Amino acid sequence: MRNKTILLQMKIIAYYLLLAGLTAAFFSCKKSKEASAPVVNPPVAGELVYTGYSDTALSIGRKGMAAVAWGNKIFFAGGMIETAAPSGPSQRTTSDKIDIYDVQTGKWSSAKLSHPSVYLAAAAAGSKVIFAGGADGDGHPWDSADIYDTLTGQIKTDKLSVGRYLLAAAATGNKIVFAGGCIVRPSAAVDIYDVQTGQWTTSALPDALYNLAGAAAGNTMVFAGGVNSSAAIVSDADIYDVQKGTWTKASLSEARMGLSAAAAGNKIVFGGGTTKMFAGSAAVDVYDVQSGTWSTAALNTPRILMAAAGIGDKVVFAGGSTSYEGPTNTVEVYDIKTGKIIPVSYLLKEKRVEAAAAATANKLLVAGGNLQVSIGASTNYTNYRTVDFFEWK
């Protein structure tokens, strides 16, 4: 039974990555006073402008990074470098790099994870940024939780309750939460870090899930989509009230895995992903944390493996792969005021999948990603160091 479940998980992920032109051989299924983050006034009204790119911004080109922003810094951590092999599957090397962009100075710095890792998750609160979970190049999960102190620039390594990859993370108030993920099978584990006490507690999702997405607004976190223990793609939307410590259950408009999530204002937005028919989804599900209601919109192009981040009153979905045309450099923007996808003219510098995005102050960055091109029997991989810059003006 276990072998059957693992096989089903591998088939799902294989097809999911194949849609993007990738290969899936990688996978088998004492209380202290917390200092505040640097004060950065968030933009309220304005216009999103594409301001350019750098082809050499990241220290190394890679896909599958975790992206997070806090204070005046944006972090891109871990990831995988994929190269052609003489025969058989591509060669995969995981990275321990953390590339850090300072939005005030425009300069880059770096740090290192405790382990090279891909498909990890990251979130931030107080003065702490945590990079947790992920897997090595052979698909073995890590239980490490690297806690970066934004005041000192130092990293302390802690542990999750169980190692896993393809997990989701979100943060609000004084809580940083890591939910779900894959061990050999899906996990329902939820690890909660309190930035005021420096202590971990645990909870559980109603169902074990991996390849889900999560984001937070107000006092609410939502973790949605993914694959369950029966290897089924689900529409689950698990809503966590940080103040009460309680879970409620809802549903997305369409079941999907590998979807992207971000928040802007009082809205948590889930876009794209892979459907039960193994096709790209155009669905956009929006949760209003004030009213507790859901609404929907639609991407212009169904897509998977895209980057997402919120800034001002917009949520940006960038890159990824469409079911019919493959990797894309198009950008779609959801406006939380109108509840619609609005037209934009700008494009990313490169077509790529599995890029990462995050935003703080008036800057939004889309970084890294991968492109696979097959010609006859040969396959070439490009692992991008490229970062596209957007500004809220």
**What pTM was estimated for this model as a whole?**
0.90
Nearest-5° Cα angle at 98, 93 to 103: 140
Distance CA 186, CA 226 (A): 9
For the chain, the domains span 2-29+31-392
DSSP string, 167-229: -EEEEETTEEEEE--BSSSBEEEEEEEETTTTEEEEEEEEEEEBS-EEEEETTEEEEE--B-T
Q: In what order do the strands lie in the sheet with 363-367?
A: 48-54, 387-392, 363-367, 356-360
- Using 50, 70 and 90 to split pLDDT, how confident is the model at 133? very high
* Residue 183 in tokens: 């061990």
Of the listed ranges 81-95, 262-276, 319-333, the least confidently predicted one is 81-95
Distance CA 187, CA 210 (A): 7
pLDDT, tens digit (0-9, with 9 covering 90-100), for 140-152: 999 999 999 999 9
Per-residue DSSP letter, 36 = P
Q: What is the mean pLDDT of residues 89-95?
A: 89
pLDDT of 29: 54
Fold of 2-29+31-392: Neuraminidase (2.120.10)
Q: What value does the mean pLDDT of the chain take?
A: 89
Q: What is the mean pLDDT of residues 285-298?
A: 98
Q: In what order do the strands lie in the sheet with 236-241?
A: 213-217, 220-224, 236-241, 246-251
* Residue 114 in tokens: 């405790």
The dihedral over CA atoms of 335, 339, 345, 349, expressed in degrees to the nearest 10, equals 60
Distance CA 130, CA 177 (A): 10
